Copies of this chain bind each other. A is one copy, B any other.
Amino acid sequence: MPTIRPVTRADHDQWLTLWEGYNAFYKRVGPAAVPPEVTQMTWARFFDGYESMHALVAESDGRLVGLVHYIFHRNTTMLGPVCYLQDLFTDPSQRGKGVGKALIEAVYEQARLAGSPRVYWHTHDTNKTVMRLYDYVATHSGFVVYRKDV
């Protein structure tokens, strides 16, 4: 099983490869690509003590094989923050070994340590493969997401 640990500055190049793989998987390419300055800022925010944005990585045989990004933010029905798990990715060559599950459970642990009683995330309802994992580790809440670009 991989080791799950906080990302460090030394992980930049391997993290970037995973991040690009993740974005390609979700078709964020071409005009829809995450601009390099956003990637650079997101990376910087992981190491900025004022921000509430964090990354964990999965390491196996000295190599990064997965990432998860999560953010603490306020919620009107809780004293403590809620934890938004925004991004989860496992290197395609390492699928089926429990890397994603281990990353999600590590976020649960970080949320508990940060006084956050709930972790949530979004997934597209056509994403049936990954929803099997999500149904196993969490609850399909029945809520759907509306959005407006303003």
Contacts and interface: CB of A to CB of B under 8 A. Distances in A.
A129 interface: no
Contacts of A122: 141, 143-146
Q: Is the interface of A mostly helix, strand, loop or mixed?
A: mixed
Contacts of A79: 37-38, 41, 44
A63 to B, nearest CB: 22
A120 B144 contact: no
B120 A147 contact: yes
A73 B86 contact: no
Interface string A16-33: 000000000000100000
B80 A76 contact: no
Interface of A: 28, 34, 37-38, 41-42, 44-45, 47-53, 69, 71-81, 83-84, 86-87, 108, 110-126, 134, 137-150
23 contacts: A45-B74, A47-B114, A48-B81, A48-B114, A49-B72, A49-B111, A49-B113, A49-B115, A51-B74, A52-B73, A71-B75, A71-B76, A112-B150, A117-B149, A117-B150, A121-B145, A122-B146, A124-B143, A126-B142, A137-B148, A139-B147, A140-B144, A140-B146
